[in-house]
Amino acid sequence: MPRVTLQTIADQVGVSRMTVSNAFSRPDQLSPELRTRILDAADKLGYAGPDPAARALARGTTGAVGILLTDSLRYAFTDEVAAAFLGAIADEMADSGLAITLLTSSELQRVVPARDLPMDGALIYSCDPDSTAVDWLRRRNLPLVFVDQVAERGQATINVADRAGAALAARHLIDLGHRRIDIVTSSFAGPHGLLDDAVAAATGHVQRERLIGWTDTLAAAGVTPCIVVEQHSDSEAGHRSGMLLLLADDPPTAVLCFSDAIASGVVQAARELDLDVPGDSSVVGFDDNPLAQRLRPPLTTIRQDVEAKGRAAGAALNAAMARARAGSGPRPKQVVLPVELVARESTAPPRSGKRCARRV
């Protein structure tokens, strides 16, 4: 069977070779009716389209963007906040025609995605700032957008008001009358367990901002929390830390958690210890993960608009790539999205009695 080419299809439809090429690569140049005729003819002739590698070489682009996550890509599919964020990015970038490639920061394989995979730009999402994968993306001089990262001069950054949100959560518990309040947070690296100065040990922007929001607000009320630092922000970590805090000689009447996933683990630990939430211990999360409403009792939390964050990140990356192609453009934006307290049934005033005694 002879090889089918663009010219074969052009002869079949009765148009020029360039018109056929535009049907695949520049559909806006053709009427919908003509493009449909060309694609139908190509399909009948068994033609799948121009070679992607050749097309990328001709355009000077790869047709793909990267999103750098943690060392585990599983997180993108199992964490509901991450999944919603990625879905919003996909929606925002749908019209660009670019494929989205998930990148891991792990280097335990021969191919290092951040170093080796072709891409036109990348989003760096809540990663360890010391990750070598982040360094590789910088060294490639790709258009970059940082999400949940420290704002850098000359780079687009999308954050939420983490410090303000944490302060809202701490103030909510103080206003309810709690004075024995502990914290469960997370960190990318470094020491884990009970820490006296977790702020100094925090290795990520979000981790540090939330810790400052909590501890500054508690200190102003004369409250000194125990702080447990976990390496991961999941329910297993929350369960482990919840057991540690709730089994203490002087357990907290309330626990502030880095995420709703961690909070769910703390609630589970309380349930296994036959403790009531919020009667024996109030619990507050962060994110307003869909999980927060499914918990029993429903979880008090700090809501961030994950959809808005994803759309802002996608728009910022499109703008960064357009700026790179043009050699100039509007100055990159540093966006900080608002948060709000969502009070549900997992928080209440502390009971009087031994469990409410303040540890000195």
Q: Nearest 5 degrees, angle CA 305-CA 309-CA 315? A: 145
Contacts (Cβ under 8 Å, ≥6 apart) of 24: 49, 50
pLDDT at 151 over 70: yes
Please classify residue 111 by burial: count the beta carbons closer than 10 Å to its beta carbon, then call 0-12 exposed, 13-18 middle and 19+ buried: exposed
Which residue pairs from 7-10 have beta carbons closer than 8 angstroms and sit at least 24 positions apart in sequence? Answer: 8/45, 8/47, 9/38, 9/41, 9/42, 9/45, 9/47
What's the rounded mean pLDDT across residues 114-130? 84
**CB-based contact 125:206 (threshold 8 Å):** no
Domains 64-160+305-337 and 162-304+342-356 share a fold: yes
pLDDT tier at 340, thresholds 50, 70, 90 = very high
What tens digit of pLDDT does each residue of 195-232 get?
Answer: 667 666 667 889 999 999 999 999 999 999 999 999 88
Helix (H) or strand (E) holding 194: strand 193-195
Query: Hey, where are the domains in the chain?
Result: 6-50, 64-160+305-337, 162-304+342-356
Q: Which CATH code is given to the segment(s) 6-50? A: 1.10.260.40
In this structure, which topology does domain 162-304+342-356 adopt according to CATH? Answer: Rossmann fold (3.40.50)
SS3 state at 179:
coil
pTM: 0.80
CA-based R_g, the chain, Å: 26
Question: Token pair for residue 130?
Answer: 């010391």
Place of tokens 């920061």: 105
For domain 64-160+305-337, the CATH architecture is 3-Layer(aba) Sandwich (3.40)
The span from the CA of 22 to the CA of 253, in Å, is 66
List pLDDT tens digits, range 77-90: 778 888 899 999 99
